[in-house]
Amino acid sequence: MVQQHAVIFIAETEAATGADLPQFVKDEFDAFLKCGILAPRLPAAELR
């Protein structure tokens, strides 16, 4: 769901603040979206 709305979220955030997000923020966000959902790979004990 986040991936589907990422471009809109970034554009609206930049429009609302009147400034571009720093490139490192965009890079980290892109890396997060590329990594996939990690929760199924974690042991159940770590999710509690």
Residue ranges covered by each domain of the chain: 2-47
Measure the CA–CA gap between 32 and 8, rounded to whole angstroms: 16
Q: Please give the model's pTM, rounded to 2 decimal places.
A: 0.59
Model pLDDT, residue 48: 53
pLDDT digits (tens, 9 = 90+) for 1-48: 677 788 898 999 999 999 999 999 999 888 888 876 555 555 555 555
